[in-house]
Each structure stands twice: as structure tokens, then as C-alpha cells.
Structure 1
């Protein structure tokens, strides 16, 4: 999650850039919700669940983290605006598909968990973004911590797949903490470092972190 770029002063253009990023983040969340509604209302969720049922649950978790990492890479490497929108669109659809089994289980065994997890994620995101914006502190030092934390999470998931142990409540709590750190780091980079022509890519990276928090908050509700 390393980002190149110099720190920017807070002028009118920077404020407009920040507003564009968060407008696109809101649009990405709405688009994700719309895709999920389409998948479930059209019956595609049944086919997706059948296709993914052969996979171990732990493999789905690993795929989720891998897709989030690829989104972060795309956010930093893609330059043209059209390519940034394409990467955001592909990521939203991929996330929507990955979420289908988890949302299906939540609908069946924990009514209300999805909306509660969504509200917690939104309020946590607003709080973390508010901390970054109001404090004006540069949280780029979190980058190395998040990198090693993400690697440790992947190794843990891989070991769980190999040795057959379950990743329980404490793993979900740790991943929520990691996602919270990622949101704070992303918001800080948006405020201080991101090039002003990368507002779609910046929204993509922040959306990936928000989606990760929602995933593990919802898992925590299901563990209860």
C-alpha cells in the first residue's frame, strides 16, 4: 500500500480533489449495493453460491484479501481516468460476487446483521476519515504496519486451509483493526499525498478498505 507523491498544501484545488474522492466513494458504495440487489433479485445468487460451494470458506476469504490487494495496486499504477473507472467498476463487481455467500448466510441465520454491520462500518469510516481530516496528521507511517499485517493475515488463512483450523472471532477482530488502520492510512494519503488527477483511483483504494471492514464486521456478527 505504498504511495509515491509529495505532500500538498490545503488549497482550494486540494479540497475539491478530496470532495471528488469521497463523492466517488459514496457512488462506489451505492453501485456495490445496486449490484448485490440485482444479483439476489435476479436469482444469480443461487448459481454463484452453487459455483462457490465447492471452495473452502477459507479460500473465499483469501480471494477477498487478494482482490483487495490487486485493487490497491491498480489504484496506484493506473493513470488514465478511463482506466481508473474501469478498475473501479471491475472491483465493485468482483467484490459483489465474493460477498454473495457471506450475505446469503447472513440473510438465513442472522436477520438484521447486514444492516447493522453496514451502519457500524459507515460510522467507523466517518470517524476515521474525520480523525485524518481534522487532525491533518500524516499517517503514512502505517503503511509498513499494514503491509506486514496483511501478509500475516494471508499466511494465517493459508495455514488454516492447509491444516484445517478455523479462523474464529479473534481473527475477525484483528482484521477489523487492520481494516480500520487501512482506512485511516488511505484517508491520510488522500488528504496529503495523492496526485489530484487520481481521485477515482483514490476512491477505489479507500472503497477496498471499507469493504474489508464490512466483511469482517459482518463475520463477527455471524460468529455471535
Structure 2
């Protein structure tokens, strides 16, 4: 169902908006913690290394493409899920999928650069996400105009990845910088969408959409940090 046909939380009272935002960001925090716990389990159990080896057996650009596609479809899943069970199912499935897709990148970072770069990238992502969220909250601006731009930008990113797979060229530092910018625009768009267009019963889906944008930024911040060493 299109979210625009539901009464948005922005049209409700202050108490309803505050409750919605509290639930949304609590679920976002829960998604981040679940992601971290899955990664800790995969690494401490030793499963991460054979998983990374298997996934890196195909083209690394295919892994990048899979990540972009999963991130892209997360937004659609967030908009379609109606019942609470469907919303929680979509959120849990997406967090699990992201945790699996992140495994080869995290293994590469740990082995080639060191675990410290992962923590540094996580902090930079958190600061960037917080700053962009603050812009939306304090300006009150509706960034829905970014929706069409983001769709085209994601299509171009996928075209670049497919071209890299077919013609064997690397997507280097500037691609990571561009994708960080795209992730930042997605955070502005998604946060604005949550504030202005989501109905009050869709806080789980709202958290999923925000988590997808944050994960996208983390992925490319980490890739950028790895490229400097």
C-alpha cells in the first residue's frame, strides 16, 4: 500500500509523533545490535572465513551488486509490509541478509588492514547518520524530491557494477566517495519520509528503511578506509 494514502504521523499530535519516533529509533537501534551480534557469532564461530572464501570465489563486483540490490529492495519491503508480523519479518530478514553480505568485506578489512578500521568506519557512519538526521529534524524540510534522483543514481550504480563485471575494470576510490554521497542523500530522504509520510503504525518498517541507508553508508565508508591503506 502506498504510504501517501495513510494518515501520516506528521498530521497527528505531538504525543503521537514522539511515540512514533521513539519506537522507530528504538527498533533501529535493535536492528543495529542484531546485525552486530550476528557478525560476532559468525566471526567467533569461525564461519565467517569459509563464507567469505565462498563469496569471494565469484567476482567481487557481483557481491557489490548484490549489496546494492538488497539495499534497494529494502525500501520497497518497508513500504509494502502491512501487519506487524510482516514488518518484523522484513526487518529480521533484511538484517540477516545484510550481515551475510557484509561478511567478505569485514574479513577483507580484518585481514588486510586490521579490525580497528571497522570500528573507525562504524563511528564515522554513526556521526554522518546523526548529522544528516539532525538536518532533517531541525530544518523540518521535506526531502521527498530526492526520491526520483536516488532511483536513477542507484540504476547508474548498478550499471557501473555490471560494466565492471563484464569488462573487468575496478570501481575505485571515487566510486566509493560517490556512493557515500548517495547514501547520505538516501538518509536525508528516508528520514524525511519517516517524519512526514509514515503512518504511526509503521515504525518497524521505518526502522528498516533507516537501517538500509545506514548500512549502505557503512559499507562504502569502510571500503573507502580500506582503499587508503
Normalising to structure 2: TM-score of the pair? 0.94
Q: Deviations over 1:40-59 (max 9, x none)?
A: 00111122123212210000
1:120 paired residue number: 124
The separation in 2 between residues aligned to 1:190 and 1:199, in whole angstroms, is: 8
Question: Does residue 1:192 correspond to 2:196, yes or no?
Answer: yes
1:53 paired residue number: 56
**CA offset at residue 11 of structure 1?**
2.0
Q: Deviations over 1:170-219 (max 9, x none)?
A: 00000000000000111001111111111001100110000000000000
2:137 paired residue number: 133
- The one of 140, 152, 158 equivalent to 1:148 is 152
Q: Deviations over 1:140-179 (max 9, x none)?
A: 0111111111111001101111111100000000000000
Q: CA RMSD in A?
A: 1.3
Normalising to structure 1: TM-score of the pair? 0.96
Question: Does residue 1:44 correspond to 2:47, yes or no?
Answer: yes
Q: How does 1:40-119 map to 2 (within 5 A)?
A: 40-111=43-114, 112-119=116-123
2:4 paired residue number: 4
Aligned pair count reads: 223
2:216 paired residue number: 212
**CA offset at residue 4 of structure 1?**
2.8
Moved over 4 A (4+): none
User: What is the SS of the residue equivalent to 1:60?
Assistant: helix
1:34 paired residue number: 37
Q: Deviations over 1:78-120 (max 9, x none)?
A: 1000111111111111111100110001111212110000000
Structure 2: give runs of 5+ residues left out of the alignment: none
The separation in 1 between residues aligned to 2:152 and 2:56, in whole angstroms, is: 30
